[in-house]
């Protein structure tokens, strides 16, 4: 990929020169700042060239790395600028602190050039995608300047494929709340806690980036509405706000596609001794859906027994297993191969509920 403009923030005499030469060899243009104060002044200067990435040391005069990182993330104009911390301070507490503060990555100063190149390339791709997204969002805001605030509000949390609903007359009614049959799906990683304890923080972050990058497009492809996406799991539902007569089929097809692609994605991690798996739960039933949150930060969410049911099935699922409820099985039986997984007494339910384990899709429905 083409080089970027990188600001190296470090007061040491030798390591920045070595780092600058390394970056030049990788095809990047470099700028230098001897401390955080100089770096912030440089980044806030409207007449200066745009910076694509910051490489930040921890131990510096004036403003140290922590203070500089905090100032960057507090500045609306700079908060999305990727920051890779490169430091001799290699304690786990420092790594965790920087990542929590918003650093993109954390590397030792003795980092191998190949690893540095990979991390920089990944950060530059992220920055360029963000810039494209920001430009698109700016254009959208200009185009929607005359649209009612409540309608434009809806566009912040709906999936891309239902963006047309933002400007429809039904938008406010859907925000206010409505009841509809949906199919809800929960997905969680198995063995993620053990993996997080055993692996290096950089490896955990790299895995999560790949995992999110894999699952997000699949959800969009199957036209699911993503309610939330946590570090090791997510919840999505179908048939709202866009009606989908085949919503149960879509949920099961998504789960099978996720399981197949996740197995390929984790093969390299498995060879390294990390047996990461998915556990998926799917249920079909009625829920109340609408705007949830507070002024300035709203989500589009669902509430109801079906949500709890799907969540409990996900928790019950064995590694690599897709468990579905009776109602979901009833409407998808012709399209899937599934086995009776017995009645399960799920937390929060007073009686055992029939459960089925999905083996795969029937051949004639795959196309």
Q: Ranked by mean pLDDT, which of 152-161, 190-199, 286-295, 335-344 comes out on top?
A: 335-344
pLDDT tens, position by position, 242-269: 889 999 999 999 999 999 999 999 888 8
DSSP reduced 3-state for 240 = coil
In whole angstroms, what is the distance from residue 33 CA to residue 8 CA?
Answer: 6
Question: What confidence score (pLDDT) does residue 143 get?
Answer: 62
Asked if 97 and 130 touch (Cβ cutoff 8 Å), the reply is no
Q: Which of 24-38, 171-185, 203-217, 297-311 bottoms out in mean pLDDT, i.e. has the lowest?
A: 171-185
Question: What confidence score (pLDDT) does residue 169 get?
Answer: 61
253: closest CA among 221, 207, 225? 221
Residue 185: φ, ψ to 5°:
-135, 130
Residue 87 bridge partners (DSSP): 108
Quick one: angle between helices 65-74 and 92-101, nearest 10? 20
Question: What confidence score (pLDDT) does residue 367 get?
Answer: 38
Asked if 106 and 206 touch (Cβ cutoff 8 Å), the reply is no
| Percent of all residues in the chain with a pLDDT value above 70, rounded to a whole number | 84
* pLDDT for 302 beyond 90: no
Question: How does the average pLDDT of the chain come out, rounded?
Answer: 83
In whole angstroms, what is the distance from residue 23 CA to residue 21 CA?
Answer: 5
Asked if 182 and 284 touch (Cβ cutoff 8 Å), the reply is yes
* pLDDT for 352 beyond 50: yes
Question: What confidence score (pLDDT) does residue 164 get?
Answer: 52
236: closest CA among 246, 221, 225? 225
Sheet holding 83-87, edge to edge: 29-33, 5-9, 53-56, 83-87, 105-108
Residue 289 bridge partners (DSSP): 178, 302
pLDDT confidence of 339, banded at 50, 70, 90?
Answer: very high
Spatial neighbors of 320 by CB under 8 A, at least 6 apart, are 190, 259, 263, 277, 278, 279
345-353 mean pLDDT: 92
DSSP character at residue 163: G
pLDDT: which is higher, 22 or 347:
347
pLDDT: which is higher, 48 or 208:
208
Question: What confidence score (pLDDT) does residue 16 get?
Answer: 64
Place of tokens 């899709």: 361
* pLDDT for 282 beyond 90: yes
Q: pTM for the full model?
A: 0.55
Which CA distances in Å does 55 have to 109, 205, 209, 228? Answer: 11, 18, 20, 31
Question: What confidence score (pLDDT) does residue 241 get?
Answer: 82
Question: What confidence score (pLDDT) does residue 344 get?
Answer: 92
pLDDT tens, position by position, 120-170: 888 888 888 877 777 777 777 666 554 445 444 444 445 554 555 555 566
330-359 mean pLDDT: 94
* pLDDT for 111 beyond 80: no
Question: What confidence score (pLDDT) does residue 365 get?
Answer: 44
Encoded tokens for 242 = 């866009």
224-234 mean pLDDT: 80
Question: What confidence score (pLDDT) does residue 129 get?
Answer: 81
Encoded tokens for 180 = 């509809």
pLDDT tens, position by position, 45-100: 888 788 889 999 888 887 888 999 999 999 988 888 899 988 877 778 888 898 89
Q: Can you give the length of the chain in residues?
A: 367
Domains (range + CATH), the chain: 5-130 (3.40.50.2300), 149-366 (3.30.70.1230)
108-116 mean pLDDT: 81
Question: What confidence score (pLDDT) does residue 153 get?
Answer: 47
327: closest CA among 348, 305, 345? 305
């Amino acid at each position: 990929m083409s080089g970027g403009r990188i600001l190296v923030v470090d007061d040491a005499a030798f390591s920045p020169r070595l780092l600058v030469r390394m970056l030049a060899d990788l095809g990047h243009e470099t700028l230098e700042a001897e401390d955080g104060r100089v770096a912030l002044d440089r980044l806030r200067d409207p007449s200066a060239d745009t910076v694509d990435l910051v490489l930040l040391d921890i131990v510096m005069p004036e403003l140290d790395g922590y203070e500089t990182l905090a100032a960057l993330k507090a500045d609306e104009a700079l908060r999305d600028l990727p920051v890779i911390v490169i430091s001799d301070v290699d304690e786990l507490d420092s790594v965790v602190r920087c990542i929590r503060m918003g650093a993109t990555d954390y590397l030792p100063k003795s980092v191998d050039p190949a690893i540095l190149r990979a991390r920089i390339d990944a950060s530059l791709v992220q920055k360029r995608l963000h810039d494209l997204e920001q430009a698109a969002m700016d254009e959208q805001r200009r185009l929607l300047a005359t649209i009612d605030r409540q309608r434009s509000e809806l566009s912040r949390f709906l999936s891309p494929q239902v963006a047309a609903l933002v400007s429809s007359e039904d938008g406010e009614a859907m925000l206010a709340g409505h009841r509809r049959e949906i199919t809800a799906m929960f997905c969680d990683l198995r063995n993620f806690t053990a993996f997080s304890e055993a692996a290096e923080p950089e490896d955990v972050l790299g895995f999560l980036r790949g995992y999110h990058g894999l699952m997000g497009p699949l959800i969009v492809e199957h036209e699911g509405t993503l309610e939330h996406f946590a570090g090791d799991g997510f919840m999505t539902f179908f048939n709202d706000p866009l009606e989908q007569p085949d919503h149960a089929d879509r949920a099961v097809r998504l789960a099978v596609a996720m399981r197949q692609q996740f197995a390929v994605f984790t093969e390299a991690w498995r060879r390294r001794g990390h047996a990461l798996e998915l556990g998926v739960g799917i249920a079909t039933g009625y829920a109340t859906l609408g705007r949830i949150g507070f002024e300035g930060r709203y989500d589009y969410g669902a509430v109801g027994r079906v949500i709890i049911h799907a969540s409990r099935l996900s928790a019950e699922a064995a590694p690599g297993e897709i468990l579905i409820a009776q109602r979901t099985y009833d409407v998808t039986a012709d399209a899937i191969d599934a086995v009776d997984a017995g009645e399960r007494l799920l937390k929060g339910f007073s009686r055992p509920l029939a459960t089925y384990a999905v083996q795969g899709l029937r051949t004639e429905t795959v196309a």
